[in-house]
Amino acid sequence: MRVAVGVDHRGFEIKHELLALLVDAGHEVLDLGTDSDASVDYPDFAAAVGQAIVEGEADRGIVVCGSGVGACVAANKIAGVRAATCHDTYSAHQGVEHDDMNLLCLGSAIVGMSLITEIVASFLSAEFADSEERYVRRLHKVQALERGERIAP
């Protein structure tokens, strides 16, 4: 799988371990920065990873900031990106299986590398349950919201 990775200065401390983890698991990695622990803006890296996904350069993405929240908010502003902050394995795989999540946001101040290893494996091994009508119907509603359409129950 092609995985785009972007981190801000708070994610830089684990970046090399994360990249090595992905490569060791057989994934093709697109490193979108940052390249130091100097203060940078998380939206820049969330946007780079999100754009790599929607432009077809990556199948999925991972962004790391301090909490995962800011990167998630920024990434979800890009049409076609379905990002979630996950600090547990259940949310990481369920987000893909039920919601077609394509970008995982992690908080380096929240979870350590041991748990990140498990979360990333759970995220990347999951597949969208596109054979189940309810999940497809819900995804179509999310996509309608992206287009600015109103939806109703």
pLDDT, tens digit, for every residue of 123-146?
Answer: 999 999 999 999 999 999 999 999
Q: Is residue 137 part of a domain?
A: no
Give domain status of residue 146, yes or no. Answer: no
Q: What pTM was estimated for this model as a whole?
A: 0.97
- Would 64 be classed as within a structural domain? yes
The answer as to whether 8 is a domain residue is yes
Residue 97 falls within a domain, yes or no? yes
* Predicted confidence (pLDDT) at residue 113 exceeds the cutoff of 90: yes
Domain count of the chain?
A: 1
Q: What CATH number should be reported for the domain holding residue 32?
A: 3.40.1400.10
Compute the distance between CA of residue 148 and CA of residue 137 in angstroms, rounded to an integer.
17
Catalytic residues: 65, 98
Strands across the sheet with 60-65, in order?
Answer: 28-31, 2-7, 60-65, 103-107, 83-85
- Domain boundaries, position 123: 2-128
Is 80 domain-assigned?
yes
Q: pLDDT-derived band of residue 153, with 50, 70 and 90 as boundaries?
A: confident
Percent residues over pLDDT 90 in the chain: 99
pLDDT digit string, tens, across residues 69-85: 999 999 999 999 999 99
Q: Which of 47, 52, 34 is nearest to 78 (CA)?
A: 47
